DNA sequence: CGAGTACTTGAAAGATCTCAAATTAGGTGG
DNA sequence: CCACCTAATTTGAGATCTTTCAAGTACTCG
């Protein structure tokens, strides 16, 4: 596979029976292309669909009362997004394609039906949600407690790590695929200040930049500066009963 | 009931069959008292227990590399907490009692067993998790994008709303039950600045204070100042099949 | 009554934002 | 391939917000 899909992601957490894998594959069988810059769902839209990203990249954001935009999450292939329609019946966040993308739309009833027939998959999907939550908590702590310098470092590492999950050949150099304004909207800074912090990271010889591409020069030090923790690392579902017994 | 428990909270989302309610009641049958100030779980502790709060109040926090504390969540009666042990097998956050409390410890295997036998409850618990996530997203946006003034206003409203959920007789006046340092650790401010912002809210006639108690004088305006949204309001699980058919 | 913790206030330092302008990069039609 | 157009980036200077440090006051518990 070129990019991981939902079944691959879940398969990484948990050995899947053929039956379970087939059910997941069927869940994401439909394709819907979304052009770069296009909006897939708008905040507060009434909807009963959620999405698995198959390729490309998307961003989920909320608008605040004063018009500013908070990018809550970058969505990479294999991620499930819009899960809050399960509960709210409407979208809590706007979903925009950051690159040409393909999503699999999933009716919430489909997902419920899947989890009813395959309780282990329900647990696995819950696990993915829990990881999201842990990431969100970390980001909250970072926004509240760390400097602009640290947050910019953190977002660089985060994007690189997530790109690498889809393509292990990615090394220290990668295309960020974000404008400085988007970075700012993700970590609560103005574009101007993001620019200054990037320059500072360059001056400190932590990264290099050329033509939209970033090179991490000293990953250990950058990670220290960013107070970075990898939340997918500690996930352990091995205690769940194996596929046969389930 | 004096304070809501987990079964009540879920019952608010979804009409429960007798069977389902009994299963929930059984899930939280054990009692473990925790004295004010005591630590129930420490971040990174290996553990397979999660908890439902039965009475009192708790706080979940993370420590950052520089030693500062981020309070990620205030836990009220009926809340489930520590759910990340499902996935990580260890606690992601430290849990401390903010008041004398009683929790029901729940083995993760118990919860899995419950959700396997009662798929609708699995959905309901997922719903609670989704609400938590939406709240966390809002808080992220608030940290990243709103002023100290707005954040202090928001935390006051948040605490009041959650107290009221447990005791509808609570009106405009309530005991905050938090030190200014704790408020600061929740919203990313120093205690000194929290103090100044409280004073400013008083000067603006939005609130009054006396002896640890806060009175909201102009709720509409305070809510506007805080950019506040109530995330439990929009929850709708009515589309799930009723208990009989399930 | 005394000791410790929480609260309060002031002044100065530091971080980040705002505003403004100059420069660069990328995309398009000729 | 060039010329142009727009969006993105870069830099400077001053304003604003929040923190830090320091000191004094109030409250609570034993």
Q: Residue A211: left if φ>0, alpha if ψ -120 to 50, beta else—which one?
A: left
Q: How far apart are CA A43 and CA A8, in angstroms?
A: 29
Kindly list the residues from chain A whose CB atom is less than 8 angstroms away from the CB atom of residue B130: 83-84, 86-88, 129
A7 Cβ within 7 A of any nucleic strand D atom: no
- Cα separation values, A172 from A209, A232, A244, Å: 11, 20, 41
What is the H or E stretch that residue B142 is in? helix B119-145
Kindly list the residues from chain A whose CB atom is less than 8 angstroms away from the CB atom of residue B123: 86, 112, 115
pLDDT at residue B74 above 60?
Answer: yes
Q: CA of A179 vs C1' of C25, distance in Å?
A: 13
Mean pLDDT of A98-115: 93
- For B136, residues 6+ apart whose C-beta sits below 8 A from its C-beta are A133, A136, A137, A140, B72, B73
Mean pLDDT of A171-200: 96
Are the C-beta atoms of B60 and B101 separated by less than 8 Å?
A: no
| Helices A219-226 and A148-166, packing angle to 10 deg | 120
Q: What are B147-196's pLDDT values in tens digits? A: 999 999 999 999 999 999 888 999 999 999 999 999 999 999 999 999 99
Q: Does A92 touch chain B (CB under 8 A)?
A: yes
pLDDT at residue B138 above 80?
Answer: yes
pLDDT at A176: 93
Mean pLDDT of A42-69: 93
Q: Kindly report the number of other CB atoms within 10 A of residue B85's CB atom.
A: 23
For A146, which DSSP code? S
Kindly list the residues from chain B whose CB atom is less than 8 angstroms away from the CB atom of residue A9: none
Task: Tell me how far the alpha carbon of residue A163 is from its chain's centroid.
Answer: 10
Q: Structure pTM? A: 0.92
Q: Exposure of A192 by Cβ count < 10 A (0-12 exposed, 13-18 middle, 19+ buried)?
A: exposed
pLDDT at A203: 96
HSE-CB at B144 with a 13 A cutoff on CA atoms is 30
Mean pLDDT of A117-125: 88
Q: Which of A28-32, A93-97, B19-23, B229-233 has the lowest mean pLDDT?
A: B229-233
Q: Does A245 touch chain B (CB under 8 A)?
A: no
Q: Which residue of B has its CA nearest to A122?
A: B122
pLDDT at B241: 64
CB nearest B140 (choices: A132, A136, A240)? A136
Residue that wins the pLDDT comparison between B87 and B147: B147
Q: How far apart are CA B202 and CA B152, in angstroms?
A: 12
Q: How high is the mean pLDDT of chain B?
A: 91
Query: What is Dmax (Cα atoms) for chain B?
Result: 57
Q: How far apart are CA A246 and CA B12, in angstroms?
A: 31
pLDDT at residue A55 above 70?
Answer: yes
For B219, which DSSP code? H
Are the C-beta atoms of A239 and A12 separated by less than 8 Å?
A: no
What is the H or E stretch that residue A33 is in? strand A32-34
Q: How far apart are CA B93 and CA B73, in angstroms?
A: 10
With cut-offs at 50, 70 and 90, classify the pLDDT of residue A246: very low
Are the C-beta atoms of B107 and B51 separated by less than 8 Å?
A: no
Q: What are A124-169's pLDDT values in tens digits? A: 998 899 999 999 999 999 999 999 999 999 999 999 999 998 889 9
Q: How far apart are CA B14 and CA B72, in angstroms?
A: 27
């Amino acid at each position: 596979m070129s990019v991981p899909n939902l079944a691959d992601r879940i398969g990484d957490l948990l050995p899947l029976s053929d039956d379970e894998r087939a059910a997941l594959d069927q869940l994401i069988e439909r394709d819907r292309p979304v052009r770069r810059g296009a909006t897939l769902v708008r905040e507060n839209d009434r909807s009963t669909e959620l999405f698995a990203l198959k390729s490309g990249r998307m961003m989920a954001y909320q608008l605040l009362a004063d018009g500013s935009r908070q990018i809550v999450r970058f969505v990479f292939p294999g991620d499930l997004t819009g899960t809050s329609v399960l509960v709210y019946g409407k979208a809590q966040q706007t979903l925009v394609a950051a690159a040409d993308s393909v999503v699999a739309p999933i009716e919430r009833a489909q997902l419920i039906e899947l989890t009813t027939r395959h309780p282990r998959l329900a647990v696995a999907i819950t696990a993915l949600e829990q990881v999201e939550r842990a990431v969100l908590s970390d980001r909250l702590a970072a926004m509240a407690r760390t400097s602009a310098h640290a947050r910019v470092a953190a977002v660089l590492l985060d994007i690189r790590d997530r790109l690498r999950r889809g393509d292990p050949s990615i090394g220290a150099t990668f295309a960020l695929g974000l404008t400085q304004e988007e970075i700012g909207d993700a970590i609560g800074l103005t574009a101007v200040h993001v620019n200054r912090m990037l320059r500072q990271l360059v001056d400190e010889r932590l990264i290099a930049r050329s033509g939209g591409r970033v090179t991490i020069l000293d990953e250990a030090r950058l990670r220290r500066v960013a107070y970075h923790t990898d939340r997918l690392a500690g996930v352990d579902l091995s205690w769940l009963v194996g596929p046969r017994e389930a």
